[in-house]
Structure 1
Amino acid sequence: MTIRFGSTEIALSRYLWLWSAVVLVFALQSYMHDAIGGHTWSMFDYLRWSAIQWYTWAALAPLVFRLAERYPIQPPFRLASFGTQLLASAGVTLLALVIGATVSMVTESSSFADQFGQFVGKHTATCLLTYWTLLAVQQALHFRAEQARRELEASRLATELAQSRLQVLKTQLQPHFLFNTLHAIVTLLDEDKVSAEDMLLRLSDLLRAFLEDYDGQEITLRRELALLDLYLGIQRMRFKDRLSTRIYVAPDTLDCAVPSLVLQPIVENAIRHGIGQRVGDDCIEIETRREDAQLCIDVRNRNSSLEEGGDPLGHGIGLSNTRLRLKELYGEVADIRLDMIWPSGVACRIRLPYREIEEADEAPEHVVA
């Protein structure tokens, strides 16, 4: 069984033990006071008198807490709230004195008037102080609970804001990819209707995979590579023999967590700035490996270059959005940058914290293409 004080609950046994400790402390205090004066009663009498006084307040404490909740004293402090509590403290104090005098009348075999007079003379100040002490305790518990609630609410709002930002970044990636893919299909319609139809089927499979699997922000690298293979198949059909792809995957990285759709915009950038703007052939290489506590993913193309003095961080839509997603998901432990590679080409290097996750539906492992 528990006793509830606002948002705080305490077991009845613990509650009674606390008040019993108060009874014992004040009984000992009264005994020592009388002992110094040279005249004492039996210890049982001191315990009885203390129990009447403080168990009365044990019974009244829930009432004090309810009054404190209903008429709180909180910023901005108003005279009316103090006035209400002053009246309440006087009323509850009077009630405590009446209850104490009534119980003492029975145990002491004396009149109510005598006992009430003694209680008024000895315990009025203590009762008032007890009321305001209980009021202060309730206010402290209330402020602590309110602070905890606000911190929890702030944490929840921060999480929702981060999720909203991530979702916005994802929705910025997908229309960008769809526009380029549909443009490629339109181009093929006049040149090769069979290839255009095949590309539409691949696009349909890719979109279906998006709708079925993209509820969360992270998927396994295995699944990410399977989705990327659909995209690369579309691009290989578009550029035919001019584009080749090679994927090197360390087996211990396949079950690592990566942000969903993290590779597609990087590969799209590599194709657009390479074979998409330059004559000749190109090869897109993707390599994954583990280095200590990091998952390393390199996306390389051999037919592009960084402008002299160019920013290795890059400023494209795909890179900017990917960098923001990595920061939202992993903070400073993730990184993405561009580097020149020898003898020609550009490498986009992604570094993520190495963490394995489980996924029910697994795509087949990739081999060199």
Structure 2
Amino acid sequence: MKIRLGSMEVRLSRYLGLWAVVVFVFAAQGCVNDAVNGHLWSPGDYLRWWSIQWLTWAGLAPLVFRLGERHPIPFPPRLSALARHVGYSLAVTLLAVVIGALVSTLFEPSSFGQQLIQFISKHYAIGLLAYWTLLAVQQLLHFQAEKSRREIEATRLATELAQSRLQVLKTQLQPHFLFNTLHAIVTLLDEDTLSAEDMLLRLSELLRAFLEDYDGQEIPLRRELELLELYLGIQRRRFKDRLTTRIHVAPDVLDAAVPSLVLQPIVENAIRYGIGQHVGDDCVEIDCRREGDALCIDVRNYNSTLDEGGHAGGHGIGLSNTRLRMRELYGDAASLRLDLIVPRGVACRLRVPFHEMDEDPLPEHVPA
């Protein structure tokens, strides 16, 4: 069985036990005080007197809590709120001494009027203290509950904001990639119809994966590499023998979690600023391995440099969005940087915290 104190519920046994301790403490204090003064009564008398006093307040405590909830004292306190509770404290304490006098009349030979005068003279001041103590406890619990509620709400809003930012960043990548790929297909329609058709088939498979009903921000590395292979197949068709690709993956990182669609913009950047702007051949290498608590992915190409405006700063939509997504997902635990390869080339080095995913959130797609 429970008793309600405002919006809070407390087990009745625990509640009565707390007030029993208060009764015992005051009864013991009264007994000791009278013993020192030489007017000692029986222990039962002290327990009875203080039980009437404090069990009355035990019954009135829910009323005090309700008054505190209906009329909370703001911080900093306002005079009107304090004045209201001054009136309430006088009224509730008067009610407490009237109830105490009525109950005490059942056990004492004196009249109700005599008991009332005695209760007012001896217990009214301590009753006022009891009211304000109960009110202080209620206000403290209220402020703590409100603080917890606001912290939970702030955490929820921060999480929703981060998810919204991630989703925006993710969706920005898809039309950017789609535009570049369609442009490449258009250039091949008149030159190599078969290659253009193959690129369209691969693009349809890739778009189908993008449009899956999947809201997560991470996927296993093995699935990310499957999606990347669809994109690389499109680019190999586009550049024919000029472009080769190599992927090296340590077996123990295949189930590692990575941000979905994280490799495609990095590889696209390497191709765009490498073979896409320079004559000759190029090789794009992807190396995935684990180093301690980090998953390390290097994307290297050998036909670009770091002295070109867009590629040097890494401020294109691909790399900039990838950096923002990593910051939202992992904070300072992740990094992305560009390094020069001697004698020619650029390496994009991606580091994210290593953790595995138990299940694949996307169905498999096999390139046509």
Q: Shorter-chain TM-score: what band?
A: over 0.9
CA drift at 1:112: 1.3
Give the 5 Å matches for 1:154-169.
154-169=154-169
Match of 2:241 in 1: 241
Contact 2:273 2:311 in 1 (8 A): no
Contact 2:205 2:365 in 1 (8 A): no
Identity of aligned residues (%): 71
Contact 1:313 1:337 in 2 (8 A): no
Q: 1:248 to 1:363 in 2, by over 3 A?
A: farther
Match of 1:138 in 2: 138
Match of 1:115 in 2: 115
For 1:57 and 1:205, locate their aligned partners in 2 and report how far apart those are by CA, in whole Å: 74
CA drift at 1:5: 2.5
Contact 1:222 1:363 in 2 (8 A): no
CA drift at 1:278: 0.8
Match of 1:78 in 2: 78
Show CA shifts across 1:168-200 (max 9, x none). Answer: 211221111011011112112222233222222
Match of 1:321 in 2: 321
Q: 1:112 to 1:34 in 2, by over 3 A?
A: same
Contact 1:312 1:339 in 2 (8 A): no
For 1:309 and 1:315, locate their aligned partners in 2 and report how far apart those are by CA, in whole Å: 9
Unpaired runs of 5+ in structure 1? none
Q: 1:130 to 1:145 in 2, by over 3 A?
A: same
For 1:131 and 1:139, locate their aligned partners in 2 and report how far apart those are by CA, in whole Å: 12
For 1:311 and 1:212, locate their aligned partners in 2 and report how far apart those are by CA, in whole Å: 31
Q: Does 1:93 align with 2:93?
A: yes
SS in 2 for 1:62: helix
Larger mean Cα displacement after TM superposition, 211-220 or 269-278 = 211-220
Show CA shifts across 1:129-186 (max 9, x none). Answer: 1111111111111111111111111111211221122112112211110110111121
For 2:289 and 2:126, locate their aligned partners in 1 and report how far apart those are by CA, in whole Å: 74
Give the 5 Å matches for 1:175-194.
175-194=175-194
Match of 1:217 in 2: 217
For 2:52 and 2:207, locate their aligned partners in 1 and report how far apart those are by CA, in whole Å: 77
Larger mean Cα displacement after TM superposition, 151-160 or 303-312 = 303-312
Larger mean Cα displacement after TM superposition, 10-19 or 61-70 = 10-19
Match of 1:291 in 2: 291
Larger mean Cα displacement after TM superposition, 220-229 or 342-351 = 342-351
CA drift at 1:76: 5.2
Unpaired runs of 5+ in structure 2? none
Larger mean Cα displacement after TM superposition, 170-179 or 187-196 = 187-196
Q: Please tell me the root mean square deviation across aligned C-alpha atoms, in Å.
A: 2.1
| Paired residue type of 1:208 | R
Larger mean Cα displacement after TM superposition, 7-16 or 112-121 = 7-16
Match of 2:252 in 1: 252
Q: Does 1:61 align with 2:61?
A: yes
Show CA shifts across 1:275-298 (max 9, x none). Answer: 111111111111101111111101
For 2:319 and 2:214, locate their aligned partners in 1 and report how far apart those are by CA, in whole Å: 20
Contact 1:222 1:362 in 2 (8 A): no
Q: 1:214 to 1:285 in 2, by over 3 A?
A: farther
Match of 2:229 in 1: 229
CA drift at 1:7: 4.0
Larger mean Cα displacement after TM superposition, 353-362 or 262-271 = 353-362
SS in 2 for 1:179: helix
Match of 1:45 in 2: 45
For 2:334 and 2:194, locate their aligned partners in 1 and report how far apart those are by CA, in whole Å: 42
CA drift at 1:311: 8.7
SS in 1 for 2:41: coil
SS in 1 for 2:237: helix
